[in-house]
Amino acid sequence: MGKRDSRVDAVFADMAAPQHPGAALLVIDHDEIVYQQCYGFADIEAQRPITPDTSFYLASMSKQFTAMAVMMLAEEGRLGYEDRLPAYFPQLPAWSADVSVRHLLHHISGLPHYMEFFSSHDGIPEWTRDVDGVSNADVLERTAGLAGLQFPAGTQYFYSGVGYTLLALIVTAVSGQSFADFLKVRIFDPLGMKHTVVYDEARPARHKLAHGYWEDAGQFRRWDYPLLTAGDGGLFSTLDDLFLWDQALNGESLVPRAALEQAYTSGKTNDGTSVGYGFGWITDVFPYCNAAEREQLLALGGPNLRHAVHGGSCVAYFNYVMRLLDSRRTIIVLTNHLGVPGPRIRAHQVAEILFGGKERIIPGHPLAFRPGETA
C-alpha cells in the first residue's frame, strides 16, 4: 500500500473535521491496493471512526451485482436476455410483453422509478416515513397497476429503479432462492466477501455500520435507511469486500471474460443510438464530452481512458466507483454524508493526483453528470 499522500488527504479534508461523518477511499492498481484511507466517523455519537471494514449502504452501486447475477444465470442457459417479462411475471399487464431482460439491464424498458409509487414528499423525515419497509413485492404490485410504459420499450434511455428491482425478482424466480441467498451463495461467499449483505425483509446484521447523517440547521442528524428493496439498491458492503469484488471483475471466477465485457458495452436503442449504460455500469466516457474535449482526451492517451463507472446515492449515503478498464485501475469512494463536492469529483481528483498523465480527465472538467453516477 502506498505511503500517505497529503494531496489526497486534502481532497477529503472536510470529511476529517472533528465530529463529522466521513468517507472511505480505496485505490487499486492491477489487483494491488496502492492507497487506502478513511476519514471521519461512522458513528458520531459513539465516536467510532470509519475503517476499511465499516459497512456503507451502496445504493445504486448495487446494480452491478444484480447484473452479474443475471449474467451468471444467462451463462448457465437458465434465462435469456431476450426473454420477455410475462415469462416471469404473468400478473403484469399486456404492455409487459414488449419488455425484455436486456431492456431492463440497459434502462431502455420504459419503466419508471418506483419512489413516486410510495411518496411525493421532498422532506427527508416525511419521505423516510412513507417508504419505510417498502419491499420488492410492493414494487411489483405497484408496477402491475401501471396503465402502460413511459415510452415504447427500446426507444429511449430512462434510469429505472423498477427495472433493476424486477431483475432481482427474475433471479429469484429462476434460481429458486431469495435474491439475498443467491448473491451470498454464488458471489459473496466464494469471493470471501464476509461483510456484504442484501438488506431485505430478513433485516440482516450489518457489520460495523456507518450510520447515515444529513445536515439540518447546521447540525448532523442521524438517518436510518428505511427500505427493504433490492436489485436497484439494497446492498451494504465495505472497502475490504469491494477490493475482493474488484479482483473478481479482473478475472473469470464468476463469468467468462467475453460475458463480462457485455457489462461494459453500451446498450443501444432500436435505432442504434448508444445509451451509455451497459449491464449495471455506466459506459462510454467520450460521448459525454464535446468534440474539442474529446480530442483533448484522445491526445492524453485514447483507449487508456476507457471507463466504467457507477454512483450510488440515498439521502445520506453517496458513493462512486470508477474502473479504468484498460489500465486495470479502480477508485472507490464511500461516504455517509453528502459532502461538497460529491464522491464522483473527488474520485477523479484522486485519479489525477495518483496516476496523472493518461488517466487525467480534462483539468476542471470531471465527467458530465449522468443519473447513476452521483454528484
pLDDT at 46: 97
Contact 75, 259 (CB under 8 A): yes
Say which DSSP state 354 is in: H
Closest CA to 171 of 134, 198, 133: 198
Domain boundaries of the chain, sorted by first residue:
6-359
Instruction: Look at strands 212-216 and 48-49 and give their pairing.
Output: unpaired
pLDDT at 375: 47
Cα torsion angle, 68, 259, 157, 372, sign: positive
Longest dimension (CA), the chain: 59
Contact 308, 330 (CB under 8 A): no
Question: How does pLDDT run along the chain (375 residues), one tens digit per residue?
Answer: 667 899 999 999 999 989 999 999 999 999 999 999 999 999 999 999 999 999 999 999 999 999 999 999 999 999 999 999 999 999 999 999 999 999 999 999 999 999 999 999 999 999 999 999 999 999 999 999 999 999 999 999 999 999 999 999 999 999 999 999 999 999 999 999 999 999 999 999 999 999 999 998 889 999 999 999 999 999 999 999 999 999 999 999 999 999 999 999 999 999 999 998 999 999 865 444 555 655 665 565 554 467 899 999 999 999 999 998 888 899 999 999 998 999 999 998 998 899 874 444 433 333 444 444 454
pLDDT at 288: 45
pLDDT at 296: 63
pLDDT at 360: 45
pLDDT at 287: 42
> Cα–Cα distances in Å, from 11 out to 25, 101, 128, 297?
11, 40, 31, 23
Instruction: Look at strands 41-43 and 197-198 and give their pairing.
Output: unpaired
pLDDT at 369: 42
Contact 56, 170 (CB under 8 A): no
pLDDT at 366: 36
Dig out the grid coordinates for 280 from the structure: 449495471
Contact 249, 260 (CB under 8 A): yes
Beta pairing partners, 36: 26
| 119: Cβ contacts below 8 Å, ≥ 6 apart | 126, 127, 130, 131
**CATH number of the 6-359 domain:** 3.40.710.10
